[in-house]
Structure formats: structure tokens, C-alpha cells
A and B are shown apart, each in its own frame.
Chain A
Amino acid sequence: MVYKQRLDGRKDDELRPMEAKAGVIPNADGSASFKIGKTWAIAAVYGPRELYPRFLQDPQKGVLRCHYGMMPFSGSGERIRPGNSRRAQEIAMVMTKSLEPVVDLSSFPNAVVDVFVDLPQTDAGTRCAAISAASIALADAGIPMKDMICSVAVGKVDTKIVADLTYKEEQIHEFNPESHDATVADIPVAMIHNTKELTLLQLDGDITKEGLLQALELAKGATEKIYQLQKKALKEKFLMGEKQL
């Protein structure tokens, strides 16, 4: 039996309902909250500030450092052990690598910009939500950036190419008995908005070359929606104040 209707009734290219806000943490130099469906990421940016230990300093340019963490209660009931794990370390690394191409820290030698992202609730697509949130937070912090990074997961469930998979879709054989032998591919993608260059491309699962190309084409439209939301969130922070007083 093929997977015809998506589990939550969305169209193939439709993203879950999204919400974004800039400047949610007053203490931080820049911050953002980004929700997509049940996945919720909060990002805070500190810096540029002094970097210690000193051997980490780079005299050519500032260093970008990311932190990723799922909160203990963020899963589906089972407590998530807080602190670093192999998974968190990997995601922090891919976040840094996907943001670095646009962030310009050449005027901050020996300094560091810290990006902390924590997720109070998760339902797949956390690294994408984390990157989208981090991008808003970095812009809010006034860090020079060439462009925004928009990130979303695309993939294939059975024969369908879809955008923004949920946890149930990733584990379709468990939740939909009819598709017990379906193959799933989950492809988190991050894109530089203007040039459509990819800064993150991972793949988990099975997909053909044609399927991958189709999925990446779908990602262009999907990241555009993320971009519009990021733009709105950043501008709203300042337009809100205009109405008061």
C-alpha cells in the first residue's frame, strides 16, 4: 500500500504552521524563538566577546561557536539526558558549518560569537529549526552577515517527495501499518537565501538520485517560506515599538 495522504493531512510541499519572534531573551545580545509544528527552538547569541582558552583564538577572524541542546522534557515522555552527547555535538558542528559561510567575523580577531540553541519541545526537524532560529538571533545581535540562512527538512516517504517531515513520518512503518515496508529519506537542508547555495545537506535513509534532485528542488520553495517568516520576525521587533507610546 502506498503512502497517499500525509498523516497530518498536509500537501506535499506544505510546511507545518510556523511562528518566529526576535528578541525573546533580554539578557542576550540577540535572540529568537522559532516554532515549526511541535518543534520549538530558542536561540541566544552572545558576543563578540573574549575567547578563552587562548589556543582557540584565531588572529585572522572571530570564531563562531554553536551549542545545541534538547531540554530534558522535550521528547515524547522519556527524559532526555541533558548535557553533551554525540548527537548534540554533531548537530552543533553542522550548525556552525552551515552558518559560517554568511557570518562575517573578519573585524573581530581573537573574539568569539556564541550561539546557544535549546529546544523545549521536539518533533523532528530540530537541527533545521535550530539553524533558522540561530540565523534570526545572529541578525538580531547585529553581527555582520552576507545573507540569511533558511533551513528545513525535505525527504521521501514511500514514493512521495515531501517537505518538513514529522517524527511520525520518519518512523512511518511504526505508525502506519499499511506502509510497513515503506522506505523513508530525511534530508535536512540549509540554504543561503539569495544564491540558493546549500550550506547543510545530510541524508538519512534511502533515496534515488532523481528523488534527491526532486527533493532539493522542493527545498527551494520551502526555504523561501522560512525566509519570509525570518524577515517578518526581525522587522516586527521594531515595528511593534512604533505603535506604543
Chain B
Amino acid sequence: MSIVVNERDIVIPGEALAEGLDFLPGDNTYRENEKIYSKVLGLVSIAGRVLKITPLSGPYIFKPGDKIIGEVIDILMSGWRIKTGTAYTAMLSMQDASSRFIRKDEDLSRILAVGDYVVVKVTKVTSQNLIDVTMKEPGLHKVNGGRIIKINSQKVPRVIGKKGSMISLIKAHTNCDITVGQNGLIWLRGTPEGEQLAAEAIKIIEQKSHQEGLTEKMEQFLVSRTGKKIENYMPEESSE
């Protein structure tokens, strides 16, 4: 009747986390014979009586409401097929792509051509992982200029940081526009040097994502590279 791991321990699949019925199995865990086991390689997180594992690697799992970045790979009768960097493609239908009226015989490639990148939001996920996305909300648009880099989707929360602290830090020091998709695709736009530095910084975060105090380490790195320290990089309390 006890717990055998600590918060933030690294566990491997099949490793026992707790014994007895005092604890409940949360995400990425399962119970068998009164014991709770981990199902993935990850970090233990204990929330009251619930044991969860935060994966250290692994594929992106679609959730409605997630903002993702994808590439248009095909034009269909009434929409576009979007490559998402996972095993599944997403569907962007015509009425979800643009608020303006699209004529019946209009050439859809004039709105989005094959090879374009888009920032979209997941609206629907079925059991077979058929994905519907929309581009009609504020902040969703076609990608113009800049560059796209890809990281493991499990590291996205660290790249954003608590209340966006990490991403604001990088934005402030590199003067880049940065849009992070939950699927691990990141769009950077700024000066070539700024983009380069931002890409480097994000790669470092991806590698060291399981460490604590990463924001401070990244601030040191960025200050040493740009040669200037920026106080109060966090935006005012207005954004979401």
C-alpha cells in the first residue's frame, strides 16, 4: 500500500509506480494486480492520488483545440489535405479556410497551393484519427516567409514555457515572430541571423527538455550570443 517512485523520476515501460489501491492510474499508466505500472518512458508526476507519466518522447496525439502547423499536400474537390508530421493527414475544407465567398468554379490553388504551410486549429478528431482543421479563427493563417523547423511534439510545452516565458524570452532576444504548433512544427520569421539563433535555441531546449531551471540557462545562452540583456521580456497581461 505505498508509492515506490518520487516526483520527476524517470521511469521506463513496465516499471512499478505504486502498490495497493491508495493511488489511481492517470495518463500513460495502467493498473494490474493491485499495482500501477508505467506505460511509456517518461517523468513521474503526482497530482494528489493520481499518478501520471509525462512522456519524454513519442508521437503527437491530436486534441481538438490544438493549434498545429501543416503543409498542403493535395487539393481536393472542396478542400485541402494537410500533412501534419504524424501518421495522419488533416482535412481543411473550403468553408473552414476562408471567410470570403469562394465561387463554384474557382481554382482552389489560388487560395492555398500544394507546398504552402498553414497555421490551423484542430476542430474534430475521430476514433480512426481522421482530422478536421479550420483556418477561420484569429491567429490562423497561411505561412508567409520565414522558416519551419521540426521538434519532437512532447517538447512543445517546454519550448513555450510557463505562461509563455520561454517563447517570450526567445522572441525578445532574436526579434523573431515565432508560432509553435502543438505537433512540433515551429514557424520562425525575422532576420536571417535571428532565425538562425532562435532555431539553435529551440534545438537546445529540445535536447535538454527534462532538466529544471531551463529558462535561466537559455537566458544565459541568448545573452551570451546577442551580447545584450533584456529585462521584462514577458508581454503585458493581455494575451491569452
Residues on A lying within 8 angstroms of B by beta carbon are 29-30, 47-51, 59, 62, 102, 104, 107-112, 139-148, 192-194, 230-231, 234-235, 238-239, 241-242, 244-245
Stretch of B8-16, B161-169, B174-182, B230-238 contacting A (4+ beta carbons < 8 Å) = B8-16
Query: In the complex, are the beta carbons of A146 and B14 less than 8 A apart?
Result: yes
Query: In the complex, are the beta carbons of A107 and B128 less than 8 A apart?
Result: no
Contact of B217 with A by CB under 8 A: yes
Query: In the complex, are the beta carbons of A194 and B14 less than 8 A apart?
Result: yes
How far, in Å, is B171 (CB) from chain A's closest CB? 22
B25 CB contacts on chain A under 8 angstroms: none
B16 CB contacts on chain A under 8 angstroms: 194
Complex-state Cα separation, A148 to B12, whole angstroms: 8
A111 CB contacts on chain B under 8 angstroms: 87-88, 129
Query: In the complex, are the beta carbons of A47 and B87 less than 8 A apart?
Result: yes
A-B contact count (CB 8 A): 100
Given A102-B14, A110-B128, A146-B13, A50 and B57 touching (CB < 8 A)?
no
Query: In the complex, are the beta carbons of A144 and B10 less than 8 A apart?
Result: no
Per-residue CB contact flags for chain B residues 194-211 toward chain A (1 = under 8 Å, else 0) read: 000000000000011011
Given A49-B87, A109-B128, A245 and B14 touching (CB < 8 A)?
no
A242 CB contacts on chain B under 8 angstroms: 211
B217 CB contacts on chain A under 8 angstroms: 245
Complex-state Cα separation, A245 to B211, whole angstroms: 10
A109-B129, A111-B88 given; name 15 further pairs at CB < 8 Å. Answer: A29-B59, A47-B59, A104-B39, A110-B87, A140-B57, A142-B55, A142-B58, A142-B154, A144-B39, A144-B40, A145-B13, A146-B30, A235-B10, A245-B211, A245-B217
A245 CB contacts on chain B under 8 angstroms: 208, 211, 217
Complex-state Cα separation, A216 to B187, whole angstroms: 55
Given A47-B87, A146-B13, A235-B12, A241 and B57 touching (CB < 8 A)?
no
B87 CB contacts on chain A under 8 angstroms: 47-51, 62, 108, 110-112
Residues on B lying within 8 angstroms of A by beta carbon are 10, 12-16, 28, 30, 37, 39-42, 55-59, 61, 86-89, 127-129, 154, 207-208, 210-211, 217
Complex-state Cα separation, A104 to B128, whole angstroms: 15
Query: In the complex, are the beta carbons of B129 and A148 less than 8 A apart?
Result: no
Complex-state Cα separation, A49 to B14, whole angstroms: 24
A48 CB contacts on chain B under 8 angstroms: 59, 86-87
B10 CB contacts on chain A under 8 angstroms: 234-235, 238-239
Complex-state Cα separation, A193 to B41, whole angstroms: 15
B89 CB contacts on chain A under 8 angstroms: 50
- 5 of the cross-chain contacts (CB-CB < 8 Å) are A49-B86, A108-B87, A108-B129, A110-B129, A142-B58
How far, in Å, is A134 (CB) from chain B's closest CB? 13
Query: In the complex, are the beta carbons of B208 and A241 less than 8 A apart?
Result: yes
Given A241-B208, A245-B217, A139 and B88 touching (CB < 8 A)?
no
Which listed residue, B14, B57, B61, B128, touches A29 by the CB 8 Å rule? B57
Given A48-B86, A48-B87, A145-B40, A139 and B12 touching (CB < 8 A)?
yes
Query: In the complex, are the beta carbons of B208 and A59 less than 8 A apart?
Result: no
Query: In the complex, are the beta carbons of A231 and B12 less than 8 A apart?
Result: yes
Query: In the complex, are the beta carbons of A142 and B56 less than 8 A apart?
Result: yes
Complex-state Cα separation, A94 to B89, whole angstroms: 32
Query: In the complex, are the beta carbons of A147 and B13 less than 8 A apart?
Result: yes
Nearest A-chain residue to B55, judged by Cβ: A142
Given A140-B41, A141-B58, A147 and B14 touching (CB < 8 A)?
yes
B39 CB contacts on chain A under 8 angstroms: 104, 144-146
Given A104-B39, A108-B87, A230 and B61 touching (CB < 8 A)?
no
How far, in Å, is A132 (CB) from chain B's closest CB? 13
Complex-state Cα separation, A239 to B40, whole angstroms: 17
* Central interface residue in A104, A107, A110, A147, by most chain B CB within 10 Å: A147
Complex-state Cα separation, A108 to B10, whole angstroms: 25
A235 CB contacts on chain B under 8 angstroms: 10, 12
Query: In the complex, are the beta carbons of A241 and B37 less than 8 A apart?
Result: no
How far, in Å, is B205 (CB) from chain A's closest CB? 12
Nearest A-chain residue to B214, judged by Cβ: A245
A110 CB contacts on chain B under 8 angstroms: 87-88, 128-129
